[in-house]
Amino acid sequence: LEHFLHKGFYYLFTASLYESKYTGSDGVLRNTAFNGNYTVNLLLGKEFRFKSKKETKKAESSLVFDLKLTMNGGQRYTPVNLEESQLAGRAVYDYENAFEPQLKDYFRTDLKIGYKKNQKKITQEWALNFQNLTNQQNVFYRAYDQQSGTEKIFYQISFLPVLQYRILF
């Protein structure tokens, strides 16, 4: 669903349901690493326009607010056989269960607050983008740690403010 910019408001909603599988050389049909089963995105935005006080200039500026929500099914992975890995001193994977387990679902909220200045030949934009606004702990991957003999979980970026300047021409 999409609502193009009208009276300063816009949105875009997308959703996908899918299966991603492969047949290995052993003839067994398995999930791929990317079989999260679904993806949902929502972008909402509001633009407040300010007209230039000088009638000779056609410059316009605006204050922009964007909210973006993303949800995905968790990524699949091949589990580590912990006992065999501890004996071998390195990661030993359970390939009979390749890509069967699934990481937790991914969720992220981003908020952008910006100021945009439209001029005759260019548009300049200054913005502060708050990535992962809710500081959601999304799992990036799991890995075997040789030193501790355990499996560790690594997370994607936590809350991250990004200052941005853009020129469009």
Kindly report the average pLDDT of the chain as a whole number: 94
Predicted local confidence at residue 55, as pLDDT: 56
The percentage of residues in the chain with a pLDDT greater than 70, rounded to a whole number, is 95
106-154 pLDDT tens trace: 999 999 999 999 988 999 999 999 999 999 999 999 999 999 999 999 9
The percent of residues in the chain predicted with pLDDT above 90, rounded, is 88
Residue 60 identity? E
Rounded CA-CA distance 90/52 in Å is 66
Tens digit of pLDDT for each residue in 40-60? Answer: 999 999 999 987 766 555 668
Q: Among residues 111, 105, 99, 113, which one has the least CA distance to residue 156?
A: 105
What is the arithmetic mean of pLDDT over 147-167?
A: 96
> 84-97, pLDDT tens digit by residue?
999 999 999 999 99
Whether the CB-CB separation of 24 and 30 falls below 8 Å is answered with yes
Identity (one letter) of the amino acid at 38? Y
Q: What is the side-by-side strand order in the sheet with 123-131? A: 2-6, 9-17, 38-51, 60-72, 106-118, 123-131, 160-168
Q: How many CB atoms lie within 10 A of CB 38?
A: 12
Rounded to two decimals, the pTM is 0.85
Mean pLDDT confidence for 53-70: 83
* Number of C-beta neighbours around residue 58 at 10 A: 11
